[in-house]
């Protein structure tokens, strides 16, 4: 069975046909497109779901900027986490990196940004809004993360990240967003249930890739399952918002 690394090698061979040299202007433009394109497409799909009461574009853009900003605490805390894991739990390095350094810290940083800067906004008046704004934050995070990964890495890796890592951020954070929004309209502690779901999905994704084996391909059904779950939550949120007169 072909593992994840073999897919990267295969795609790297397929990129030899590109009609321009690495680090040329065209190459850089394609890298940026692969980093940002999938994220913006997914965000537009989610944005179009709420046709009755669309959110102000400026706040959607602000949510993307918050995603950029959330990479800063994630990088700092992630570096500290890696050092602690290496020092005290080296035998569990991959597992703890998957679920703590990557999943918990990244999703926690995004949740904090949304809850601190977006939840108090008066425009945040629907459960659907929480899903959209958190998706925007996660897409901002994914775009900047992809751009950072693009430095010194082949386009094949960017292509794989575009079709796996970007949907991962959107679905994991989108599912978390459902609970963040419900926390605004109910028990504030509900956001931690959302964080648990996001960490579980994100951590499982990382752990599967870290196996560098045929198990890596299980990220595909994981992403499909997570996307279907997010879609059901969006549809449910739309119905609830209409039922309660919020939209």
> What's the token pair of residue 79?
């570096």
Instruction: Report the distance separating Cα 106 and Cα 208, nearest Å.
Output: 18
Element (H, E) at 83: helix 57-88
- The better pLDDT of the pair 200, 130 is held by 200
Q: Is the dihedral of CA 108, 110, 113, 114 positive or negative?
A: negative
Q: How far apart are CA 202 and CA 209, in angstroms?
A: 11
Whole-angstrom distance, CA of residue 208 vs CA of residue 75: 22
If one counts every other C-beta atom within 10 angstroms of the C-beta of residue 65, the result is 14
Q: Give the tens place of pLDDT for each residue, 127-148.
A: 888 888 888 898 889 888 877 7
pLDDT of residue 192: 94
Q: Compute how many other C-beta atoms are within 10 angstroms of the C-beta atom of residue 23.
A: 9
Token readout for 114 is 């949304």
Confidence at 104, pLDDT banded by 50, 70, 90 = very high
- The burial class, CB within 10 Å (0-12 / 13-18 / 19+), for 222 is middle
Position 196 pLDDT exceeds 90: yes
Residue recorded with tokens 């899903």: 131
Q: What is the pLDDT of residue 18?
A: 53
Distance CA 45, CA 23 (A): 31
- How much is the pLDDT for 84? 96
Per-residue confidence band for 245, with pLDDT thresholds at 50, 70 and 90 = confident
Q: For residue 150, what pLDDT is reported? A: 66
């Amino acid at each position: 069975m072909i593992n994840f690394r073999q897919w990267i090698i295969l795609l790297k061979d397929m990129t030899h046909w590109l009609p321009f040299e690495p680090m040329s202007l065209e190459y850089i433009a394609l890298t940026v497109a692969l980093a940002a394109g999938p994220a913006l497409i997914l965000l537009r799909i989610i944005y179009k779901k709420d046709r009755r009461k669309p959110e102000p574009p400026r706040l959607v853009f602000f949510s993307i900027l918050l995603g950029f900003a959330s990479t800063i605490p994630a990088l700092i805390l992630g570096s500290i986490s890696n050092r602690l894991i290496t020092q005290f739990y080296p035998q569990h390095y991959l597992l703890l990196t998957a679920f703590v350094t990557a999943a918990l810290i990244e999703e926690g940083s995004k949740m904090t940004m949304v809850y601190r800067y977006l939840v108090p906004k008066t425009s945040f008046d629907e459960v659907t809004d929480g899903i959209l704004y958190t998706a925007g934050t996660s897409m901002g995070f994914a775009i900047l993360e992809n751009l950072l990964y693009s430095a010194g890495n082949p386009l094949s890796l960017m292509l794989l990240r575009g079709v796996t890592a970007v949907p991962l951020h959107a679905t994991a954070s989108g599912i978390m967003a459902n609970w963040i929004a419900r926390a605004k309209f109910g028990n504030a502690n509900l956001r931690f249930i959302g964080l648990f779901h996001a960490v579980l999905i994100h951590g499982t994704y990382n752990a599967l890739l870290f196996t560098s084996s045929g198990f890596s391909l299980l990220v595909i059904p994981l992403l499909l399952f997570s996307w279907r779950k997010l879609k059901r939550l969006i549809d449910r949120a739309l119905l609830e918002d209409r039922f309660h007169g919020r939209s």
